[in-house]
Structure 1
């Protein structure tokens, strides 16, 4: 058993997106701050409606997947092909943009807390032009595993978590990048261990409390992404207060990444085609896919 070390940290920075939604961005601040296949991680968290009310009006995507995970609040998703979904506390939306979609994400509240995450995961070249798809996952469909430490829990959103020799599978399975997505609550002073396939890239994002990582007990700063080295086990230990963190892992693609805002492809020509398809209104259509291929 080889425990993964904390190689480096990526502190989140204040940013805004959409129509001015305030958030914090760790991965994705720049092209050098990705962790294949993960392109970006945003945390949004505010009790002030002025920070989120304007939401994310209609905007396009192509070539990757977006994962929206709500902790608090109510967000509605709509798109140009007639899909509508409502996300409340604990809900997840896993969207495969594929060859293209135009959608909006708008708050359905005028007061109170809005809190959650959006993760971008790259798609392999052969899947970038497949039809767009959604999976709306209500909180009740996400398994929660009680840890041996009293009060500790793991929500298994994607992949499989093993506790006491018993594997627990999340609702998202069978994707090319083999993602693992866990949301962990760890009591003060408690230790957490989870198996992660060797060769998969992994990182943790600490959004509450304090924690150390690996056998070296390297400190992971609050609201920072910790990039992990290779190995087959992830270890964290909470500090003097309860820790909450995301553990994310996936199979790296090892392919060129060319990104222009909401389009993530493998070549500049493919980006130019995405822009042209968006301008002429064919983004996401079979005709656009045929033109690109």
Structure 2
């Protein structure tokens, strides 16, 4: 008998400001992040007011995790201390592995118009936190996009999207946390039933419209809400009126999480070392 995944929580994003004053919707972040293991933060940015984004994110450090930036609209330039330069445009993804350290900036390359997208932080296992940093730009044309028989359009960024009739590998694969990141556009009256292995922790962020989840007491989920689901069972996503949804899933690391701003390690001592390295000018070396 079908056993749908149960809803563990539904929570709205919270207004936040980061960088040099960029206004965000912080969906995950702050206290209780271990509940979302292996994910640490999810920010949504969506505004056509330049005052909300023009100051950008001047140079700042990261250590111990990966950042995934997915642009829907707008232009954002990346530069880092390793010499990498990249321009993110609509549909593009930037996958940055901070590991032992990277200092980068993310600055808008526009003075007007819509800036819209997401940044997701993905934890690294302790054994990989001090590996060399890595950076990859993935243009929209290199990210698989499929349409299901029900008319659902899926952008397969990471992992593999599987349904009863589809198996599509994404642009990025990671063995340690097995991240799955799909952008799903559901027309009115459509549905999709992704097949997720037991032990994988899934979340759904509805960023437009409204969805209904099969077999759960809290059926409808409106835009700007994150649904955290149980680690086993089936999943069917319906939308009576149409919706845009990020499906985010991964394998929990089950390791201690100690975070201080842009540093995420396994112990306080490692955080203090990161701060010393940054202060002493040897960060990321």
Q: Which residue of 1 aligns with 2:155?
A: 155
Q: What's the TM-score once normalised by structure 1's chain length?
A: 0.93
Aligned mates of 1:76, 1:14 — CA distance in 2:
24
Aligned mates of 1:190, 1:29 — CA distance in 2:
35
Q: Is the 8 A contact 1:5 1:213 kept in 2?
A: no
Q: Superposed, which structure 2 residues align to 1:238-249 within 5 Å? A: 238-239=239-240, 241-249=241-249
Secondary structure in structure 2 of the residue aligned to 1:191: strand
Q: Which residue of 1 aligns with 2:181?
A: 181
In structure 2, the CA distance between the partners of 1:33 and 1:253, relative to structure 1 (3 Å rule), is closer
Secondary structure in structure 2 of the residue aligned to 1:50: helix
Q: Which residue of 2 aligns with 1:284?
A: 284
Shift of 1:219: 2.0
Aligned mates of 2:50, 2:192 — CA distance in 1:
35
Aligned mates of 2:267, 2:30 — CA distance in 1:
20
Q: Residue by residue, what CA displacement relative to the aligned partner does 1:16-46 show, whole Å, maximum 9, x if unpaired? A: 1000000101111423574000111000000
Q: CA RMSD in A?
A: 1.3
Shift of 1:93: 0.5
Aligned mates of 1:47, 1:158 — CA distance in 2:
28
In structure 2, the CA distance between the partners of 1:259 and 1:27, relative to structure 1 (3 Å rule), is same
Q: Is the 8 A contact 2:41 2:120 kept in 1?
A: yes
In structure 2, the CA distance between the partners of 1:178 and 1:33, relative to structure 1 (3 Å rule), is closer
Q: Is the 8 A contact 2:199 2:232 kept in 1?
A: yes
Q: Is the 8 A contact 2:33 2:39 kept in 1?
A: no
Shift of 1:232: 4.3
Secondary structure in structure 1 of the residue aligned to 2:28: coil
Q: Superposed, which structure 2 residues align to 1:49-198 within 5 Å? A: 49-150=50-151, 152-198=152-198
Aligned mates of 2:178, 2:193 — CA distance in 1:
19
Report the count of equivalent residues.
283
Q: What's the TM-score once normalised by structure 2's chain length?
A: 0.96
Q: Is the 8 A contact 2:163 2:195 kept in 1?
A: no
Q: Residue by residue, what CA displacement relative to the aligned partner does 1:78-116 show, whole Å, maximum 9, x if unpaired? A: 001100011000000011000000000000000100000
Unaligned regions of 5+ residues in structure 1, if any? 286-293
